[in-house]
């Protein structure tokens, strides 16, 4: 295989950055926004139990610190932030809508004009600079009222409320937004069910059954959103979104290979439904073995079949590793997914292993499987930064990580022939970490003066990577030095 071909990317390749409402907007009750699931997820030791749905926290209390409440205050800084994205030459900006900003209680008959207007302003600001908005309809948030009244995605009614949201936003923004993602990291609901789907468990209930039923509801909702989108504007492009990464077998023992395949299927399951339009046989058999009888309504199969996605988007931070041998059990962190430590890889300060070739492997696996255009909508290095005077950060480690991953993506395009629509780095401006709630774990090209306890001026400043990424975009990925 010739690994020397170096070309840039196609004309129109969408370079940019990604954020999520709950991790950057702040203003958690401003403009008549309602309380969201993410607003009751605290920083600190209780964060994981709450995100997993094991610890009930349905309101905020005074003992905890809730990072989403102010986040990095994008709500009041969006003009300044988007101007900086434009300065880097962004072609696209991925952001999510806060559902509770548009329907404060989720089940309201009428949408909240102030919330809708806020996103109008954000999109207008992007379009002013020729930046194409890429919108995630829900990125880890559900209006809390729906958790309290119907148990969130465990209830089928959620499909109707989600449809109501989609009708409103597709109509409202049909001339401003073309690219939509239905659910961020849809597979996350298996790992962090409260964060991914607003699920809180009762003692003794079959958690797996609740999760897969909720997953079914999200899959139907995603297909219905696609149907509505095509009716409202046939030009829309609808994507699914997977927390992706191939699982490697620890050895070439067939048992290890088999286990790795099973691990990957747990994640592919969602995209198999969203992209191929039906439950794969291995998933039906798995549910049977788990004694889970999914409740499906008449017509669900047709809805799934007739409304598959246009493209596959995904996040990639690190590859995963598994073994069938219980004695091989040295784990490391990795975006919530349990993984063994890979002796061939270095890891970030947070234990996420760094594997650029793993990105090329993941890209090729997804393209082989679905044969649809891909969109890399999250990738990046979470690292602690030490700002110099005026907030400049010499973040060579971040540049190094991104450079190697962009090279891997470039090889996937130029050598392997994969069609990739664009690349948005995660947290293009520093924001709150989803897994830890920290500010210290930074991904941005733009530094935000704020610490883990919420102190700081919120002032923005350009890091070294800001100027580097500007050049990458200018040269359409040819100059990565």
Active site residues: 185, 378
CB-facing half-sphere around the CA of 437: CA atoms within 13 A: 23
Among 370, 426, 447, 469, binds ligand BG6 (CB under 6 A): 426
Find the length of the chain.
481
Q: CB 319 → ligand BG6: shortest distance, Å? A: 15
Q: Is 433 in the site for ligand BG6 (CB under 6 A)?
A: yes
238 pairs with which residues across the strands?
Answer: 180
Helix, strand, coil percentages in the chain from 3-state DSSP, rounded to 5: 40, 15, 45
Cβ 301 to ligand BG6, closest distance in Å?
29
Q: Quick one: which segment of 45-53, 255-263, 337-345, 432-440 binds ligand BG6 (CB under 6 A)?
A: 432-440
In the range 324-383, which residues lie near ligand BG6 by CB under 6 A?
335, 378, 382
441 scored as a contact of ligand BG6 (CB under 6 A): yes
Q: Which is nearer to ligand BG6, 132 or 430 (CB)?
A: 430
Least separation in angstroms between residue 433's CB and ligand BG6 is: 4
Checking 347-354 for CB contacts under 8 A at 24+ apart, the result is 348/381, 348/382, 348/383, 349/382, 349/383, 349/384, 350/382, 350/436, 350/441, 352/317, 352/318, 352/382, 353/318, 353/319, 354/318, 354/381, 354/401, 354/404
Measured from the CB of residue 147, what is the shortest distance to ligand BG6 in angstroms?
19
- Asked if residue 89 lies in contact with residue 478, where contact means CB atoms within 8 angstroms, the answer is no
Strands (E), 155-230: 179-183
- What's the min distance (Å) between Cβ of 303 and ligand BG6? 26
Query: Does position 435 bind ligand BG6 by CB under 6 A?
Result: yes
Nearer to ligand BG6, 144 or 244 (CB): 244
Of residues 65-104, which lie at the interface with ligand BG6 (CB under 6 A)? none
112 binds ligand BG6 (CB under 6 A): no
Contacts of 110 (CB under 8 A, 6+ apart): none
The answer to whether 261 and 340 are in contact (CB under 8 A) is no
Closest approach of Cβ 193 to ligand BG6, in Å? Answer: 14
Q: Measuring CA to CA, how many Å separate 173 from each of 69, 126, 224, 309, 382?
A: 26, 13, 18, 19, 32
Site string for ligand BG6, 18-57 (x = CB under 6 A): --x--x----------------------------------
Q: Which of residues 237-266 bind ligand BG6 (CB under 6 A)?
A: 243
Q: Closer to ligand BG6 by CB, 23 or 222: give it.
A: 23
**Segment interacting with ligand BG6 (CB under 6 A) among 209-217, 290-298, 399-407, 427-435:** 427-435
- Report how many helices (DSSP H) and strands (DSSP E) the chain contains, helices first: 15, 16
Cβ nearer to ligand BG6, comparing 184 with 322? 184
Which position among 138, 152, 184, 379 is part of the footprint of ligand BG6 (CB under 6 A)? 184
How many residues line the site for ligand BG6 (CB under 6 A)?
15
For residue 307, state whether it binds ligand BG6 (rule: CB under 6 A).
Answer: no
Nearer to ligand BG6 (CB atom), residue 256 or residue 430: 430
Nearer to ligand BG6, 82 or 192 (CB): 192
* 446 lines the binding site for ligand BG6 (CB under 6 A): no
Q: Is 465 a binder of ligand BG6 (CB under 6 A)?
A: no
For residue 315, state whether it binds ligand BG6 (rule: CB under 6 A). yes
- Nearest one of 367, 360, 340, 336 to 260, comparing CA atoms: 340
Residue 197 DSSP SS3: helix
Selection from 369, 361, 383, 395 nearest residue 469 by Cα: 395
Least separation in angstroms between residue 315's CB and ligand BG6 is 5
Given candidates 132, 185, 355, 385, which one binds ligand BG6 under the rule CB under 6 A?
A: 185
CA-nearest of 111, 92, 100 to 21 is 100
Find the part of the chain contacting ligand BG6 (CB under 6 A) among 248-256, 297-305, 433-441, 447-455: 433-441
Give yes or no for a contact between 33 and 108, defined as CB atoms under 8 angstroms apart.
Answer: no
| Least spacing, CB of residue 313 vs ligand BG6, in Å | 11
End-to-end alpha-carbon separation of the chain, Å? 24
- Name the token pair of 446: 């733009």
The CB-of-435 to ligand BG6 minimum distance in angstroms stands at: 3
d(CA 171, CA 1): 48
Residue nearest to ligand BG6 (CB): 435
> Of 199, 298, 287, 179, nearest to 239 (Cα)?
179
Which residues contribute to the site for ligand BG6 (CB under 6 A)? Answer: 20, 23, 184-185, 243, 315, 335, 378, 382, 426, 433-436, 441
């Amino acid at each position: 295989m010739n690994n020397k071909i170096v070309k840039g990317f196609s004309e129109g390749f969408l370079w940019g950055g990604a954020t999520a409402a709950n991790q950057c907007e702040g203003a958690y009750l401003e403009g008549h926004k309602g309380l969201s699931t993410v607003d009751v997820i605290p920083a600190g030791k209780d964060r994981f139990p709450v995100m997993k749905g094991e610890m009930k926290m349905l309101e905020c209390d005074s003992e905890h610190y809730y990072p989403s409440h102010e986040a990095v205050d994008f709500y009041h800084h969006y003009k300044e932030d988007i101007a900086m994205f434009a300065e880097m030459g962004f072609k696209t900006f991925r952001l999510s809508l806060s559902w509770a900003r548009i329907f404060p209680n989720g089940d309201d008959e009428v949408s909240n004009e102030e919330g809708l207007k806020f996103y109008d302003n954000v999109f207008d600001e992007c379009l002013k600079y020729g930046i194409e908005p890429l919108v995630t309809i829900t990125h880890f948030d559900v209006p809390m009222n729906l958790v309290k009244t119907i148990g969130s995605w465990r209830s089928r009614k959620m499909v109707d409320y989600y449809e109501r949201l989609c009708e409103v936003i597709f109509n409202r923004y049909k001339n401003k937004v073309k690219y939509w993602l239905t659910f961020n990291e849809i597979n996350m609901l298996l790992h962090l069910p409260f964060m991914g789907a607003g699920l809180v468990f009762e003692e003794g209930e079959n958690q797996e059954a609740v999760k897969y039923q909720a997953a079914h509801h999200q899959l139907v909702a995603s297909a219905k959103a696609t149907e509505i989108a095509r009716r409202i504007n046939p030009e829309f492009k609808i994507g699914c979104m997977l927390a992706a990464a191939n699982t490697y077998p620890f050895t070439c023992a067939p048992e290890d290979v088999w286990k790795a395949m099973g691990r990957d299927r747990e994640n592919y399951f969602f995209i198999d439904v969203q992209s191929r339009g039906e439950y794969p046989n291995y998933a039906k058999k798995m549910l049977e073995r788990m004694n889970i009888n999914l409740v499906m309504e008449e017509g669900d199969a047709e809805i799934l079949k007739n409304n598959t996605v246009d493209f596959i988007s995904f996040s990639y931070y690190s590859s995963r590793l598994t073994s069938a041998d219980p004695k091989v059990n040295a784990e490391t962190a990795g975006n919530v997914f349990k993984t063994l430590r890979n002796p061939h890889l270095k890891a970030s300060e947070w234990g996420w292993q760094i594997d650029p070739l793993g990105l090329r492997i993941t890209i090729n696996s997804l393209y082989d499987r679905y044969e649809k255009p891909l969109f890399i909508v999250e990738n990046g290095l979470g690292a602690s930064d030490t700002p110099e005077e005026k907030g400049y950060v010499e973040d060579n480690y971040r540049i190094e990580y991104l450079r190697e991953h962009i090279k891997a993506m470039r090889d996937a395009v130029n050598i392997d022939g994969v069609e990739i629509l664009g690349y948005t780095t995660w947290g293009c401006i520093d924001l709150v970490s989803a897994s830890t709630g920290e500010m210290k774990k930074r991904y941005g090209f733009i530094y935000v003066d704020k610490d883990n306890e919420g102190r700081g001026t919120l002032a923005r400043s350009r890091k070294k990577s800001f100027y580097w990424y500007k050049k990458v975009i200018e040269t359409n990925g040819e100059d990565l030095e």
